[in-house]
Amino acid sequence: MQRTSHYKPALAWFATLGSAWVFVLVTLGAFTTSIGAGMAFPDWPLSNGSVNPEGWLTDVAMFAEHSHRLTGALMGFITIGLAVWLGKGEERAWLRRLGWWALAIVIVQGLIGGKRVLLDSLAVPGFEMTLGQMLRIPHGVLAQVFVCVLFAIAAGLSRTWIERQGGLLGAPGENVRRLGFWSLFLLLTQLWIAAAMRHNHAGMAIPYFPWSTAERDWLPLAWDYRVTLQFLHRVMAVVLAVVISLYVRALWRDAAVSPFLRKLGLGLVGLLALQILLGAKVIWSGRDAYLTTAHVIVGALTLAVTFLVTFFTHRHAMEAPPPRA
């Protein structure tokens, strides 16, 4: 028998709190990377052997890294509470599984973050980056996957999802579902490119925008792996602008999509425009740390909103009763 669910305000708000707190964690992580403070402390899990290292409130690099660690620890406790609460009080098996997936991801994230510090000096033959430095890339990517998992949990627990208030008016068409999938796939691909670019110090490999040279050429005159990463990041931004615009257009043209999701789609267009503007300003400013951090945050929010809209368009499949034998 299909187990139904009812709206649980306390659990729903706790999941929403987790979805909000993760952006504090992402912000501090982005700022730590932007100012090059990832190795402000050479030990882990403590910082200079303490949970309250001397001088961390007055030194920017120490503050960024240590507050990132403290925020991550609190995120871990929130995720443990969420997974246990879902396991004991949620009727839907898929939502309980998401809670345990969130817990698994946050544990892996903590271990990767720790190994990034502890293995920072371990050289990898044939590569400029050490093994610890390489771990920054999956650490950054998995963080954004974790954001999407928390958004899925919060969405599934929301009154809008359970009681269909502002939700779908019917099953959306194949075009909406397909474009949602491609939007997410391309955003995740862009995320990998951006993480590789950031941690290979390729953010200013092409110091001009929107052109690639001072003579306003579209293609760089000289290529290496840093220039290639930077150029791919720009090309993917153009592809994403087209695909996400088509996705939002499909949302507005599909009669099964509610005004609630259409407004989220418009918000997605606004986020995309802001992200492109911030990317330009990062180049024009010579990679200002605060603008770079904002660029990462808006990118994470763009992915999260795209995921949220796409997740809602699959509600009819997620909540469908199992077929009879």
Q: How far apart are CA 84 and CA 89, in angstroms?
A: 8
Which residues on adjacent β-strands are paired with residue 50? 47
CA angle 146, 149, 155 (to 5 degrees): 140
Q: How far apart are CA 165 and CA 315, in angstroms?
A: 13
Tens of pLDDT, residues 123-146 = 999 888 999 999 999 999 999 999
Confidence of residue 6 (pLDDT cuts 50, 70, 90): confident
Confidence of residue 260 (pLDDT cuts 50, 70, 90): confident
- Mean pLDDT, rounded, for 197-221: 93
Cis amide bond preceding 210, omega within 30: yes
Q: How far apart are CA 66 and CA 59, in angstroms?
A: 10
User: In b/e form, how buried is each residue of 16-44, taking b as 16+ CB within 10 angstroms?
Assistant: bebbebbeebbbbbbbbbbbebbebbeee
pTM, to two decimals: 0.90
pLDDT, residue 84, reads 97
Cis amide bond preceding 9, omega within 30: no
Confidence of residue 35 (pLDDT cuts 50, 70, 90): very high
Q: How many helices (H) and strands (E) does the chain have?
A: 11, 0
Q: How far apart are CA 199 and CA 187, in angstroms?
A: 18
Q: How far apart are CA 181 and CA 302, in angstroms?
A: 14
CA nearest 234: which of 219, 246, 216, 224?
A: 219
